[in-house]
Chain A
Amino acid sequence: MTSTYSNIALDDNDKKIINALQHGLPVCEQPFLALAQQLEISEQEILARLESLLEQKVLSRFGPMFDAACFGGAFTLAALQVPEQHFDKVTEIVNSFTQVAHNYKRDHRYNMWFVIATESQQEIEHVIQKIEEKTGLEVLNAPKLKEFYVGLYLPA
């Protein structure tokens, strides 16, 4: 099936570039040249297309993915069971915390899922306590115990 839901028309070269880069980019002096040879697209064209894909927001970022926790931050995944009639209100409260990111509504008893990102573990506890106070709901705290390295590949 074609990607009828896609918002942006990508041509074959865009797709080749996106697909190849999902597997990574060699770390060397001229990485785009290495890619150019592999894809048989010129280095200049690869650079121009990447710029355009970033501008069109097909790609959100290009470069190394740091493990932020290694730099001293603390993170957790948290969830709430929010009564449907209070969902908007609770969303507003939860999102008012600057430490909250990636808040998703999901179809489950636990219907609100979000990330809490802070500088310290202590601050995580503090934010959870504050959210519980302000919403009157109990937070499910699901910190990461172990991460498994994924081989994500979503062909364009």
Chain B
Amino acid sequence: MNQQRSHLAWANTLTPNQQNKLRTLLEQGLPLVSQPYLALATAIDADETHVLKQIEIWQQQGLIKRFGLVVKHRQLGYQANAMVVWDIDDQTVDDIAAKLAKFPEVSLCYRRPRQLPQWPYNLFCMIHGKYREQVLAQIEKITQTLQLHSVNKAVLFSNKAFKQQGARYQRGGN
């Protein structure tokens, strides 16, 4: 997402209490009105410009990862998903991961520790497709593009979700 504002030198203008309230409200989603930030500002008794500024600060700090929507993959016809795990050399894993994450079908990409001997993989990604063959084709494309044929990997398709939500913290992917 593009935004040109860069006057971050400003002091934080929301009180900690207002910040907490704003975060709680935003976690429920952006209000579906013409001026959503004005609506949020009114709700926490603050100025719209200060709300916009706060959000910008959170984006810069990485607290807000992105702004947009969460699609229900399955509702859009993306019924298949695989967790693909790779055992990539420690020297190159970050570089490869950054490239891998850019493929549009990849929804998560994390480096995690190997647990030898039972678990040799150090890079995890989630790949979505409309059906299994599409996911496999995508994995093949990624493997070719990033020249990962010699890399040991495993493809774990999910059969069924047994518990989609329920923890106290539900965001953050994993």
Residues of A whose CB lies within 8 Å of any CB of B are 1, 3-8, 10, 18, 21-33, 43, 47, 50-51, 54, 56-71, 73, 75-77, 91, 95, 98-108, 110, 113-119, 140-154, 156
Contact = CB atoms under 8 A, between A and B. Distances in A.
Contacts of B36: 31-32
Contacts of A152: 104-107, 128
B146 to A, nearest CB: 13
Contacts of B65: 65-67, 149
Contact of B34 (A33, A95, A156): A33
B110 A21 contact: no
Nearest to A76: B174
Q: DSSP class of B's interface residues: helix, strand, loop or mixed?
A: mixed
B158 A104 contact: yes
Contact of A100 (B26, B48, B98, B167): B167
Contacts of B142: none
A142 B67 contact: no
Interface in B20-74: 23, 26-30, 32-38, 48, 52, 55-56, 58-59, 61-74
Contacts of A149: 65-66, 101
Contacts of B115: 140-142
A10 to B, nearest CB: 8
Interface residues of B, number: 86
Contacts of A95: 162-163, 166
B7 interface: no
Given A57-B72, A63-B26, A148 B98 contact: yes
Contact of A29 (B38, B56, B71, B172): B38
A27 B1 CA distance: 9
B151 interface: no
Contacts of A70: 61-63
Contacts of A148: 94, 97-98, 100-101, 109-111
Nearest to B104: A153
